[in-house]
Each structure stands twice: as structure tokens, then as C-alpha cells.
Amino acid sequence: MAVAFDEMNGPGGDLRPAYQELSRWLKETPPDALEYRRQEAELLFRRIGITFAVYGDAEAQERLIPFDVIPRIMSSKEWTLLEKGLKQRVRALNMFLRDIYHGRDILRANVIPDDLIFQNPVFRPEMNGQDVPHDVYVHIAGIDIVRVDADNFIVLEDNARTPSGVSYMLENREIMMRLFPDLFARHRVAPVEKYPDELLSALRSVAPLSASAEPVVALMTPGVYNSAYYEHSFLADKLGIELVEGRDLIVKNDEVFMRTTEGLKRVDVIYRRVDDDFLDPLTFRPDSALGVPGLMSAYAAGNVTLANAVGTGIADDKAVYSYMPDIVKFYLGEEPILKNVPTWRCREPKDLAYVLDNLGDLVVKEVHGSGGYGMLIGPAATKATIEAFRDKLKREPEGFIAQPTLALSTCPTCTASGLAPRHVDLRPFVLTGRDHVTIVPGGLTRVALKEGSLVVNSSQGGGTKDTWILDE
Amino acid sequence: MLSRTAENLYWLARYVERAEYLARTIDATLRVTALPAAYIGKTNEWDSALLTAGVSASFYEAYEEANEQNVVEYLAFSPSNPSSIKNCIEAARLNSRSVRTALTSEMWDTINSAWIELQEVWGKGTSSREELARFLRFVQETSLRFDGSAYRTMLRNDAYWFSRLGLHLERADNTARILDVKYHVLLPEEEHVGGPLDYYQWTSILRSVSALTAYHWVYRETLKPWLIADLLILNDTLPRSLASCYSNLVRNLDQIGVAYGRQGASQRHARGVRNRLEHSHMDDIFQHGVHEFIQEFIADNARLGEIITKQYLI
């Protein structure tokens, strides 16, 4: 594996310009002051209750995601490029979804194989021929980006269903501004606080035609036991909209209402943080207690907008991901600005053979997996784990893809033995409304706190950092 | 607002109020039982604490004897007692989490900090009188902070009013129960109510509703049971009296009615109860029977809870 690119001390150990002021500040600041601030930050997180639940961990039902106080910094030039690439990619994702559920030009042009769509469990036949307001399917996208050098941004994953983490982007900034006002005074950091406003106007802009002039937007959560519940309540609060659960909603005559102290009130747009499967027990899983019976028929009648739309999973499927460069070219006629990680699709015999021969060097992921669960990191895995994966791959090759182990870039991070480089990724949040795509300058930087680790997922011991885009 | 949000706010306030009341009850009982036997007569004060908390029956399913250790454990820490202080704080936190958007950050901070302290400091209960005293103070301070932060930081809209409804309904219930137990259950029929032995009992009632000093200010007399009943039932100036609770309930329900442009059964019912309190005199109440009067009140109060639930919360 190549030596990782460090975002502060570039190749050859030269201090990169965006980090100059930080480096100076770090030299002036005694290490115990940093440690003191770190503890203070942790206390703040706990008191505010910014927690997440780890599934399968009864001991710690609510945990804190470790927060690293050293910011990750990008220049405005880097951001401009990234922003352009993200907008391009999300536009293509929306056009792809519109096409898949309507004319299917892309299949007829043989750009991607039919069975990848039709045999895919996240493809939703219910959405065939259904129009969604302004053809927006993915209103909120979280695109996971990694870097391997100074010039290239690579997309690791598209999250087009119910991406989470934006509350950390906002809260991390709040806490950093409280703890390090002096450091902010020495930088011009682009603000992220407009995100809730941008999100609300994007959601309002896609209200159904039958909505009133002031469309009612609500955020739908699976409830307090969901791992991202804090984020749901945080966002509802910042947007000034009701945080509803399935049991608060009722469908009458194909319209959705919420039960309020003043009777029923119509809801026009639902920012839902509930998976497709649980939305409506009449259409999807009949055992779902989280959903609203009849929601899909109100949706089909065009009386409510769901954000994101139903069926977007087909766009962030990891096998479909491997076709993203072709998808961008097909719909936009442009070269993709953001690269893909080279991907072997195990469903193809030639690729499978290669993957089986090189398991020790590759990262193998489940096509429908997320959160870092169920993946193999070849170079870090034991022989036994690799062999177990080999069996799984042979049994169900179409369930997996494989990628080379990337040397993710590193950023200086507080560790028990002082500042040290740790691997990071970045999830910016891309909002699509009626007529424009917006991205607040920043995102959620996740950091693998264990030395050498490449897994940044919070469920696997990853932490977060504040992400600064310098406004030069 | 969402019915579920209103319901959560209402119960959140009830749980916090109940936790405080239980802490005061334990505190007052500890003081009485610390007195030499000659001052307190033969009654079992811990038994009486269970009765005022309304958990006597379930207690005896789990324990043989009502002594300090068992009752403190049951009222304060027992996971199997649904309204133990610990469970009240847990339930308050769960309710707060469900309605975070309707709480101010100060209110959330109070409940969340209390919940954290409950786990980290009081997870194993208390092992000495001093610790117990500290725990009880912690619970009372949590309630004061919660109440204070609600009062000082919440918008005066339906969220605030529903939270106040929960508080006053719970408070009225608690005051009524403690009066009832002391007046009826504890004192043997033939003994003259207000005999010298009871002095410390009455002190302890007043203490558990934080009205001992208030009594002296209002009546400038030594403790007399009928004056205590007058204070706790009819005196509108005492925040924990039944009359005061109902003034507040009527006012908050009216505010909701005005905001929503509609009155209903809960406004009518609350006004009915308030009017009865306003037009009652202690003499009549005694003639009618204090126990009967209070029992009727407790039933009316519970009925108001049901009506509010039906009208707004489901």
C-alpha cells in the first residue's frame, strides 16, 4: 500500500498552505491546553445529548461519537472543484432515477445490464411510471469522498436514501467556535449554519401541487430508539417543523394528516428518515409498526412529497455505483469530475476470479451493506476471516463488490501519544430543490482513530472532526 | 402542536413533580422517625409514606416489612416500582428525548444532567443517611431547576400550558393524598385529632409540601390540624394547595381554549372543581367529612386528567 497523503504535511513533508495558520497555532498551544479543550468538548457533547445508538450493543445504548478538536482544512480552490463535481454527480443520480422508473433509455442503450436493476431488491416496481414533483428523487444526498493525493477527489459511496451525519457537521462547528474562538479569529472559515434554511427551502420547493401556499413540512423519524434519533430531533428543531412518528400520521382520502391538539392537520412534504421498507405496512413490510397505512397511496395520488423519494436505493447500490462514470456521461454528456474507486463486480465471473485470487489486498463490500458492517479489509484481516469471506463470495457473488485498498489521506489528530496522522474521509451534503442544487461549504469529516485503521464509520470506532473550507 | 408532543410534555412535568414529591415524603419521614418514640406514637411512619405515595399494595407484594431500608429502596430506587424516583427521572428523560424540539435547551439540560447523575452517582443507591440526604436534595433541586427553567425560558404557548397542566394536576393529587392519609388513615378514630402527640406529624405534612414556614406566616398560630387543612385545601396563596393548583389549571386551560378558539369539557370540568373549592368553608368540609371531601377531590382530579387526554392528547 502506498504511503498516505497527509493533508497538513504534503508529500515531502512540506506544510500545505491551508494549514499554515493552524500549524503556527499548534506550536504556540501547550499540549495540555489541547487535552483540556478536548475534555470540555466531550462534556458539551454529553450534556447536549448528541449521542448515537450502536446496534447490537446493549451495554452502551447511547454513545458519544469521539470528537477530535483538530479541524480538517481545505482551500476554497479545492472546495470549488469538489462542489462542481458533487453537483454534477447528484444531477446525474436524479436523472438516472427518473429514467429507471420511466423510459429506461439507459437500459435500452445497454449502458448497464437489465438484471442489475430488475433483480435488485432495492428496485421499487411501485415507482414505475410514477411522477415525482420536479423530477427530484434525491433531495438530500451524502456523498462519501476520499483523497489519495493533492489533486483528486474520489467518491467512495453515494448515499441517496436517508444519509445521516449533518447534525455533526453543524454541532461540531458550534462546539469548535465555543472552544477555539481565537483560532477562528485567525482564519476565514466559510459558515455552515445556513444548512437548515437551505434544506427547508429545498423541501418546500418540491411540495405537491395540491399543497397550500405555505406547504407544511414534517420530519418523520422511526422514534427515540433509532441510532440517528438525535439528528432527527436536532434537524426538526432547526427547521422549525414537527418531528413526527408513524403513529402521529393518518391517511384519509389519499391525503396525509398529523394528529394535533387542534385536530387533524394536512402534511404536504415529509422529510422521512424511515427506510422504504417501513414506510407503509400496506405496500411494504406488513409487520412495520413505524409506518403509516395508506401513505403510498397518498404518494401515488400526488398529495404528498416524500424526501427522498421511494426507490432511490437503486442509485446508491454498490454495484450500480461501479457504473456511475458511465451514468454521468450518458445523461450529461460530460466527463465525470469526481472519480470512482476502481471496482470489481463479483457478479461478473472474470472479476470474481480476480477478486478471489487477490482477497488479501482488496476491500470487499456487501452490495447492500452500509455503516461499515459486513465488509472485509483484506490487508488488515486474519487468514480465517479471509477464508470465511471466500466462501461467502463463492456462494453469493452478486452480493459483493471489491475495491483496491486505498491509502486514504490523513490529517493530524489528537491521540494518546500526541498529534499523529489518522485516515479521514468526507461526507458533504448535497441538496436538490425545484430548480437548483446547493451544498453548504463543508461536510462531515470522519476519522479512523486507531493507528493505521481505514474504517471511519462511527459504528466501528471512528470519530469526527470539524471541516473548514477557507474563504479566501 | 402534535398530540403526542403535548402528551409527552404533560407527562414529563408530572414525572418531575412526582419525583420531587417522593423525595419530600422520604425526607419528612426521616425527620419524624428520628424523633424519640414518645413523640410520634405507635404509627409506622414508613407505612404512611407508602400510603401517601399510593404504592402500599405493590410494596407488600415484594417486601415483608415497611422499614426505612425497604421503603427508601422501593420509593427511591426500585426498578420494579413504576413510580420510584429513579423510574420517574428515567421516564422524564425518555419523554424529553421524544419532545426535544418542544423543550428549551435549559430544560433539556436539567433533565439530561439529572439522568446522567442518576446513572453515574446514584446507580447503586445510597449507603448512608448522609448520602440519602444528598440524593433527596439532588432530586428536589432537579425539580426546582426544571420548573424554573420552564418558567424562565419557554414561550408562553400551548407547549408551556400543557406542561403546566401536568405539573398542577400531579401536584393537586399529591397534596390531596398526603392530607388524606394523615387525616384519615393514620389517626385512630377515637383519638382526638390534634392531640399533642401529633404535633410532629403535622410538621411533617407541612414539610413534605414545603409549607411549614408558610403556615406560620399565614396563621401566626401554633399548628392546628384544621388550619393545616385550610391552608392545604383552600388557601389560594399557597402554591401547593388544592385551590392554587385549580386556579392554575383553570387559567392554563383557558389559555389553551383562547389560543385554539374553542373551549371544551376539560375547561368546564376544571372550572367546576375550582368553584367548589372557592365556595367551600372548612367548617362545612369537616361536617361533610374531610376524608369524603378529599376522596371526591382525588376522583375529580383524576377525571380531569382523563378529559384532558381525550380532548387534546390522543
Residue-wise pLDDT tens digits, B35-92: 777 666 667 889 989 988 989 999 999 999 999 999 999 999 999 999 999 999 999 9
Could you read off the pLDDT of A421-446 as tens digits, one per residue? Answer: 999 999 999 999 998 899 999 999 99
Contact B2 A258 (CB under 8 A): yes
Which of A177-211 are b and which e, b meaning 16 or more Cβ less than 10 Å from the residue's Cβ? eebbeebeeebebbebeebbebbbebbbbbbbeeb
HEC string for A197-244: HHHHHHHHHCCCCCCCCCCCEEEECCCCCCCCHHHHHHHHHHHCCEEE
- Report pLDDT for A158: 94
Give the A window 200-259 contacts with B, CB below 8 Å.
223-224, 229, 233-234, 236-237, 242-245, 247-248, 258-259
Contact B260 A233 (CB under 8 A): no
Contact A233 B100 (CB under 8 A): yes
- Report pLDDT for B227: 87
Q: How many CB atoms lie within 10 A of CB B81?
A: 21
Instruction: Please determine, for the modelled complex, whether the ipTM score is greater than 0.85.
Output: no
**pLDDT of A472 above 80:** no
CA distance A185 to A174: 14
Please answer whether residues B171 and B16 qualify as being in contact, where contact means their C-beta atoms are separated by less than 8 angstroms. no
Q: Shortest CA distance to B97 belongs to which of B85, B80, B111, B82?
A: B111
Could you read off the pLDDT of A71-112 as tens digits, one per residue? Answer: 999 999 999 999 999 999 999 999 999 999 999 999 999 999
Residues of A in contact with B105 (CB under 8 A): 48
- pTM across the whole model: 0.85
Q: Of B1, B105, B108, which is closest to A261 when you measure between CB atoms? A: B1
Most confident of A52-56, A200-204, B93-97: A200-204
**pLDDT of A61 above 80:** no
Residues of A in contact with B109 (CB under 8 A): 47-48
Instruction: Calculate the dihedral angle through the C-alpha atoms of A238, A244, A245, A246, rounding to the nearest 10 degrees.
Output: -140
The contacts of residue B35 (CB under 8 Å, 6+ apart) are: B200
Could you read off the pLDDT of B203-257 as tens digits, one per residue? Answer: 878 888 888 899 989 998 888 878 888 999 999 999 999 999 999 999 999 999 9
Please answer whether residues A122 and A314 qualify as being in contact, where contact means their C-beta atoms are separated by less than 8 angstroms. yes
- Report pLDDT for A372: 64
Question: What proportion of chain A, given as a percentage, has pLDDT over 90?
Answer: 72
Could you read off the pLDDT of B168-214 as tens digits, one per residue? Answer: 999 999 999 988 887 765 554 445 555 555 677 778 788 888 888 99
Packing angle, helices B225-233 and B242-260, rounded to 10: 10
Contact B1 A260 (CB under 8 A): yes
Question: What proportion of chain A, given as a percentage, has pLDDT over 70?
Answer: 95
- Report pLDDT for B197: 55
Instruction: Calculate the dihedral angle through the C-alpha atoms of A46, A50, A55, A58, rounding to the nearest 10 degrees.
Output: 30
Supply B77's cell numbers: 430506587
CA distance A81 to B130: 64
